[in-house]
Structures are given as structure tokens and as C-alpha cells.
């Protein structure tokens, strides 16, 4: 009734093989010892007269879950979904559909996720989604670390990959007993950053920005510090949603999925009022985060050069602009709002934070100013 493979399995030791006989089919779980000493668990399903299906897992629980899925699918007459074309969806194919169907519904059109998907496709594009292994994903995680990406950025890549796998399971009919990304040991996140602008950094940044070929660079830095808006929110600004008379800007979407209206200080209004109006209605010339980040890095480098040319070495501030990121301006802005005397709810309405714990991450009060208030 069965192939030579079936008879081979019947003679294996009981502790290494568990055999299930289905109607006109053969199925077994085989335990194999890998080179590293750990076990792997292979499920083999042989429908009579059809091509065998095999799948290997790192955990027995995964193999047993797949075995149950086969039995359930056979009972529901949906076994083709487990053994057919849906199981041969490559990561590249999944990404193509994900970009078209899912990304447009994310905040800012999923701009931040595009670069992550590029890296994922470069590494795993030809692999079937069903063939993703925890060991390979863990190795890729280490590879990202060697690229000098921050731990937070590595987490973002893993989150993007996990979302892609969940989309494949939910929308493409790909059957996996468990999302393998959830089993990857992630690098430990460092303590939250507390970087704020120091000394004369803003002065020299502004000077450098005004020397930039981008006429709106100095303005976006000013607006970021005055509003605490995220970079993605800033880049998504459009003139029809900016009311300089009422001193507000409306954000239809944000990172937390909700809209909000942000108040504009007189400084922010003056900066925006001086910008030329673009034909496409966008406030800024950048569309994607990565293109702006390139301009930001060049601006920082220019600021350091003109600072060192103008200030004698013995008078220079230590670590001038050395580790400043654009996102740190959000912390600077949030802290300044509190220092101006705004209440928690008022600041939260500006920043868009939903919890006090997250608001605290983006707040670092100036101890000298607090001391002055104490008298």
C-alpha cells in the first residue's frame, strides 16, 4: 500500500517515530539529531497516489501542531491548502502582495517599512514562507547587528518580517503552525535615550541648514522643535491641512493610527509662513524618511565643520553633535513643552502619546531650570 519509505518508518524505534494512519494515507513524525546536538522533527504525509509532503521543525510542539492541521484539513476537505500552491509562496511574492494590499493602510503609507522589506527580500526573497527557519532568522538578526544597526532598528526589521508572515497566513492561505519570528531571541533593548540639544548645537545646526541646498531644512528643524511631531508626520504635512491664521496643523494619520491636531507656536508659524508653496501641496521637498535622513546627516557634518573652523579647539564643547539624531528633537520639543508650563494632557495632545509611561520616555527636564523654579 505504501512506498519503501513507509516500510522504513515502520521499523524505526518507537521513541523516534510516531505514526498516524489516516484513510488511504500515511503520516509520521521523525526525530533527527542535528550536528549541533539538538533534535529536529520532520512530519511526512503520504496521501495514496499523490506526492508526499514533508516539513521539518525545530520544536516537537510545532511538528505536532502541523500534524493536527493536516488531520483537521483532511476532515474539512481543505488539505489542498496545506499541500498546494499556497504553501509555495516565496517571501518575494508575499512582499509584492503585502506592499500593494497592506502598506497603504499603515501610517504614512508604510514609508518606514519599505527599507525593512528591501533588506528582508535581499536575504530571504527566494525562500518559501513555509520554509523559514528560526536558526536562519537568528543568524540574520546577528548579521543586522554587524551592519551597525541600532538594536531598536533590528527590532523594527523583525517586527516588519513578523507582520509579513502574519499577512501571508491570514491573506495568502499560507499554513504555519506558528510564526517563526516569534521564536527568535531578540537583542536586548538598551535604556531609552535621553539625548537633548546641548550648548550651542542648535545655533550651529541652524547655520548649517541655511547653507544647505534644501531651502526648507532649517524650517523643518524649527518646526520639529516647536511641535514635537515625528519625522513621518512632518513629511506628510500638506498645505491644505495647515491653518496659519488659527495656528494649527491637522494630521489625518499618525503612528498610533489616530488623527490629531497640533498647535503651532508663533515661532513655528513664522518659519512656515516664510516657505514657498509647492505645486503638489506638500509642505516639504522630501517624501521618504531615508531621503531626509541623508540631508540631516550632511547638515550635521556641515555644522561640525563650520563650528570647528570658527571656534578654537580649547573652547569647543565636548562631543559636539556627536550622537544627535533627528528623532532626539522630539524629546527636546516634549521637554520644552513641559518647561513652558503645559500640563500632561496638553503635552500629550501635542505629542500624540497615549500613555504617561511613553510620554516620560520623551521627557528629560532641565535640572537647572527646575532648581530656578524651586527658588
State the CATH number of the domain containing residue 44: 3.10.450
Domain co-membership, 75 together with 115: no
Domain co-membership, 176 together with 73: no
Contact 103, 113 (CB under 8 A): yes
Q: Residue 249 forms beta bridges with which residues? A: 242, 262
- Of the candidates 18, 44, 196, 230, the residue annotated as catalytic is 230
- Of the candidates 119, 255, 282, 298, the residue annotated as catalytic is 255
Beta strands of the chain (E only): which ranges?
A: 17-22, 25-33, 39-47, 53-57, 242-243, 248-251, 260-263
Domain co-membership, 275 together with 358: yes
pTM, to two decimals: 0.59
What is the pLDDT, as a whole number, of residue 7?
Answer: 39
* Total tally of structural domains belonging to the chain: 3
pLDDT > 90: percent of the chain: 44
Mean pLDDT to the nearest integer, 21-25: 45
Average pLDDT, the chain: 82
Task: Note if 41 is an active site residue.
Answer: no
Mean pLDDT to the nearest integer, 9-35: 55
193 occurs within a structural domain: no
C-alpha cell read off for 247:
495656528
Q: Is the pLDDT of residue 103 over 50?
A: yes
Cα 27 from Cα 73, distance rounded (Å): 14
Position 217 confidence tier, pLDDT thresholds 50, 70, 90 = very high
Domain co-membership, 225 together with 178: no
192 occurs within a structural domain: no
Task: Note if 353 is an active site residue.
Answer: yes
| End residue of a domain, out of 183, 211, 243 | 183
pLDDT tens readout for residues 287-324: 888 889 999 999 999 999 999 999 999 999 999 998 89
Domain co-membership, 240 together with 348: yes
- Of the candidates 169, 260, 362, 364, the residue annotated as catalytic is 362
- Of the candidates 330, 331, 336, 364, the residue annotated as catalytic is 330
State the CATH number of the domain containing residue 239: 1.10.443.10
Q: In the block, which residue shows the cell 489625518?
A: 252
pLDDT tens readout for residues 110-142: 777 888 999 999 999 999 998 898 999 999 998
Nearest CA among 196, 186, 180 for reference residue 134: 180
23 occurs within a structural domain: yes
What is the pLDDT, as a whole number, of residue 73?
Answer: 59
Domain co-membership, 109 together with 38: no
pLDDT tens readout for residues 247-262: 999 998 777 677 889 9
Task: Note if 128 is an active site residue.
Answer: no
Cα 224 from Cα 229, distance rounded (Å): 6
Domain co-membership, 225 together with 206: yes
pLDDT tens readout for residues 143-199: 988 887 888 889 999 999 999 999 988 888 787 878 999 999 888 877 778 889 999
| End residue of a domain, out of 183, 211, 228 | 183
Cβ atoms within 10 Å of 108's Cβ, excluding its own: 21
Cα 19 from Cα 369, distance rounded (Å): 73
Domain co-membership, 283 together with 178: no
Domain co-membership, 73 together with 106: no
- Of the candidates 127, 302, 316, 327, the residue annotated as catalytic is 327
Which residues form the domain of 242?
Answer: 201-374
Domain co-membership, 254 together with 155: no
Task: Note if 157 is an active site residue.
Answer: no
Instruction: Name the residue with higher pLDDT: 133 or 51.
Output: 133
Instruction: Name the residue with higher pLDDT: 197 or 371.
Output: 197
149 occurs within a structural domain: yes
Task: Note if 255 is an active site residue.
Answer: yes
Task: Note if 330 is an active site residue.
Answer: yes
- Looking only at the bridges linking them, the beta strands covering 248-251 and 17-22 are unpaired
Domain co-membership, 114 together with 39: no
Position 41 confidence tier, pLDDT thresholds 50, 70, 90 = confident
- Of the candidates 113, 157, 331, 353, the residue annotated as catalytic is 353
| End residue of a domain, out of 48, 83, 118 | 83
Mean pLDDT to the nearest integer, 4-33: 51
Amino acid at each position: 500500500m505504501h512506498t519503501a519509505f513507509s516500510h522504513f518508518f515502520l521499523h524505526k524505534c518507537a521513541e523516534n517515530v510516531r505514526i498516524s494512519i489516516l484513510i488511504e494515507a500515511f503520516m509520521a513524525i521523525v526525530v533527527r539529531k542535528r550536528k549541533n546536538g539538538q533534535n529536529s522533527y520532520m512530519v511526512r504525509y503520504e496521501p495514496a497516489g499523490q506526492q508526499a509532503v514533508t516539513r521539518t521543525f525545530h520544536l516537537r510542539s510545532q511538528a505536532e501542531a502541523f500534524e493536527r492541521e493536516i488531520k483537521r484539513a483532511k476532515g474539512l476537505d481543505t488539505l489542498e491548502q496545506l499541500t498546494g500552491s499556497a504553501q509555495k509562496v516565496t517571501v518575494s511574492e508575499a512582499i509584492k502582495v503585502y506592499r500593494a494590499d497592506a502598506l497603504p493602510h499603515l501610517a504614512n503609507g508604510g514609508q518606514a517599512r519599505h527599507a525593512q522589506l528591501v533588506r528582508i527580500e535581499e536575504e530571504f526573497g527566494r525562500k518559501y514562507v513555509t520554509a523559514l527557519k528560526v536558526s536562519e532568522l537568528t543568524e540574520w538578526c546577528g548579521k543586522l547587528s554587524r551592519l551597525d544597526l541600532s538594536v531598536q532598528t533590528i527590532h523594527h526589521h523583525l517586527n516588519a518580517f513578523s507582520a509579513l508572515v502574519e499577512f501571508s497566513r491570514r491573506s495568502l492561505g499560507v499554513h504555519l503552525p506558528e510564526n517563526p519570528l516569534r521564536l527568535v531571541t531578540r537583542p536586548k533593548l538598551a535604556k531609552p535615550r535621553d539625548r537633548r540639544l546641548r550648548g550651542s548645537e542648535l545655533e550651529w545646526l541652524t547655520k548649517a541648514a541655511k547653507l544647505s541646498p534644501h531651502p526648507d531644512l532649517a524650517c523643518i528643524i524649527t518646526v520639529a522643535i516647536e511641535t514635537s511631531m515625528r519625522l513621518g508626520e512632518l513629511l506628510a504635512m500638506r498645505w491644505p491641512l495647515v491653518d496659519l491664521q488659527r495656528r494649527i496643523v491637522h494630521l489625518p494619520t499618525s503612528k498610533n493610527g489616530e488623527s490629531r491636531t497640533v498647535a503651532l507656536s508663533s515661532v513655528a508659524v513664522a518659519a512656515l509662513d516664510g516657505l514657498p508653496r509647492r505645486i503638489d501641496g506638500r509642505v516639504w521637498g522630501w517624501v521618504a524618511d531615508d531621503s531626509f535622513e541623508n540631508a540631516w546627516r550632511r547638515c550635521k557634518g556641515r555644522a561640525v565643520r563650520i563650528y570647528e573652523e570658527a571656534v578654537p579647539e580649547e573652547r569647543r564643547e565636548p562631543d559636539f553633535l556627536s550622537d544627535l539624531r533627528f528623532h532626539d528633537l522630539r524629546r527636546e520639543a516634549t521637554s520644552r513643552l513641559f518647561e513652558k508650563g503645559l500640563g500632561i494632557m496638553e503635552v500629550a495632545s501635542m505629542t500624540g502619546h497615549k500613555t504617561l509611561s511613553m510620554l516620560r520616555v520623551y521627557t528629560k527636564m532641565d535640572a537647572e531650570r527646575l532648581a530656578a523654579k524651586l527658588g
